[in-house]
Chain A
Amino acid sequence: MLLSVLGKTFRFLGYTVQYGCIAHCAFEYLGGIVVCSGPSMEPTIQNSDIVFSENLSRHFYSIRKGDIVIVKSPNDPKSNICKRVIGLEGDKVCTSNPSDFLKSHSYVPKGHVWLEGDNLRNSTDSRCYGPVPYGLIRGRICLKIWPLNDFGFLRASPNGHRFLDD
């Protein structure tokens, strides 16, 4: 009687460990569901929207200008931030505010990206803490899941003027 209970317990633990490993690999290498909070990506992503992010792009180094990415915060490694890639390494970006008279530009250093939120007025992003190392990128958001009336792929940036083409 006791032996069969022990046997069932061990089998249950075995299945749990197997599913845990598969789930960990899936979240690490494939993608996962993310709940976004904060106003910095409005109107593209509102507060408490649920999105799906995929991690394959970061492993194959195919993040493009204009992608929305999930990044480990440079100042707090335990929290994640969600911003749009405005410039890749070598690109020229505008570091001054739109209200400044004299525009200042700089080049994104090697191995870094320049991030900005879509809600430029209410977003702490690379204009505040500088270019972010590529190694901090965790995934690229490809699909919005919730709210259902806004289901689907994400819109292009409403701030097209921030993308400086050479």
Chain B
Amino acid sequence: ILCLRSPRNPEQKIIKRVIALEGDIIKTIGYKKKYVKVPHGHIWVEGDHHGHSFDSNAFGPVSLGLLHARATHILWPPQRWQKLQPMLPPERKPLQREEE
């Protein structure tokens, strides 16, 4: 889960999950192209709530230069204190991973 500068509004930071890295081909939800190959130097991010998320399905793959930080823990409110696990939902796995 990463914190990055929004490509639409540079003053805003958005927090999303990384779904695919460069070279992967994924199936998109509501994007202008059905299948997208993530270009070099870019990543595909999505929010966990697919219907109501302003993520790569709206603005496409984001350049790695916009990355700001990685979210590791929730600190507040105290009843939601937890370590954030890097977990990829199985239905969002990339279709084809490029072998290095």
Is the C-beta of A64 less than 8 angstroms from some C-beta in chain B? no
Interface string of B40-81 (1 = CB under 8 A from A): 111000000000000000000011111100000000000000
Pick from B8, B10, B39, B64: contact of A77, CB under 8 Å: B64
Is the C-beta of A66 less than 8 angstroms from some C-beta in chain B? no
Task: Evaluate contact between B7 and A74: CB separation under 8 angstroms.
Answer: no
A30 to chain B, nearest CB (A): 19
Bound-state CA distance A23–B85 (Å) is 35
With A74-B63, A74-B65 in contact, is A135–B6 under 8 Å at CB?
A: yes
Nearest B residue to A75, CB-CB: B41
Is the C-beta of B91 less than 8 angstroms from some C-beta in chain A? no
Task: Evaluate contact between B6 and A111: CB separation under 8 angstroms.
Answer: yes
Pick from A72, A75, A110, A136: contact of B8, CB under 8 Å: A110
With A61-B10, A73-B65, A77-B64 in contact, is A133–B41 under 8 Å at CB?
A: no
Number of interface residues of A (CB under 8 A): 15
Chain A interface residues toward B at CB < 8 A: 61, 72-77, 109-112, 133-136
Q: Number of A-B pairs whose CB atoms are under 8 Å?
A: 47
B interface residue count range (under 10 / 10 to 19 / 20 to 34 / 35 or more): 10 to 19
Supply 29 A–B pairs (Cβ within 8 Å), ascending by A: A72-B65, A73-B41, A73-B65, A74-B41, A74-B42, A74-B63, A74-B65, A75-B41, A75-B42, A75-B63, A76-B40, A77-B64, A77-B67, A109-B8, A110-B8, A111-B6, A111-B7, A111-B8, A111-B9, A111-B10, A112-B7, A133-B62, A134-B10, A135-B7, A135-B10, A135-B66, A136-B63, A136-B65, A136-B66
With A61-B11, A133-B63, A135-B66 in contact, is A76–B6 under 8 Å at CB?
A: no
Task: Evaluate contact between B40 and A133: CB separation under 8 angstroms.
Answer: no
Is the C-beta of B5 less than 8 angstroms from some C-beta in chain A? yes
B98 to chain A, nearest CB (A): 15
Q: A135-B6, A135-B66 are in contact. List 12 more A-B contacts (CB 8 A).
A: A61-B10, A72-B65, A73-B65, A74-B42, A77-B65, A109-B8, A110-B8, A111-B8, A135-B7, A135-B65, A136-B63, A136-B65
